[in-house]
Amino acid sequence: MVDRRRRRKSFFDDFFGSGFEDFENMIEEMVEKFGLDSNEFSRHPFVYGFSFSQKPGEEPEIREFGNIPSTNSRKNKEGTGHQVKIDERKPLIDVLETENEIHVIAEMPGIEKEDIKLNATESMVQLKASRGDRKYSENIELPGKIDPDSGKATYKNGVLEIIFKRVSDEHTRSIDID
């Protein structure tokens, strides 16, 4: 547990109120949740991070760095390692507009073209994909109206690109006068 000795009240305590205390409590909870000894960090700053890379056709590589033990060496109270499971991912999305088209670009590594399901309305694209333990899902609101039947999609190297033709927001119709 963290030593909770109180120090004298200072100008910052009056100015910021309990904001820092709340922040400190959140950090303590996170440290305990990860099964770390909070006394390790009482005098020195701590750093933790990871890098993720994956080459086509190879298993992903995750490298941890920092001055705290890796998740492989930390154990929780039951003696099992910490494991994070991601059920459904949100793909990285870009929506680009031109005068006549709207381009939707989604990054979804680790799946195949056959795994992707697309549906479109005049104002939205629904994207779903699943392969093994990788699942992607997103409803993408479009910045303008499109013709859903005009959609052309390509998928290459983990990147899906869909191109739609724009439809005028205003529907002008001639009206006959009797």
Q: What is the pLDDT of residues 87-96, one digit of tens each?
A: 677 888 999 9
Which CATH number does the domain housing residue 145 bear? 2.60.40.790
Q: How many domains does the chain have?
A: 2
Mean pLDDT, the chain, whole residue set:
77
107-162 tens-digit pLDDT: 998 899 999 999 999 999 999 999 988 889 999 999 999 999 999 999 999 999 99
> Per the confidence metrics, is the pTM higher than 0.95?
no
Q: How far apart are CA 98 and CA 48, in angstroms?
A: 42
What is the residue range of 106's domain?
A: 92-165
Number of H helices, E strands in the chain: 2, 9
Measure the CA–CA gap between 37 and 95, rounded to whole angstroms: 45
Rounded to an integer, what distance in angstroms lies between the CA atom of residue 95 and that of residue 44? 44
Residue 129 included in any domain: yes
Count of residues in the chain: 178
Beta strands at 101-107 and 92-97: parallel, antiparallel or unpaired = antiparallel
d(CA 161, CA 107): 9
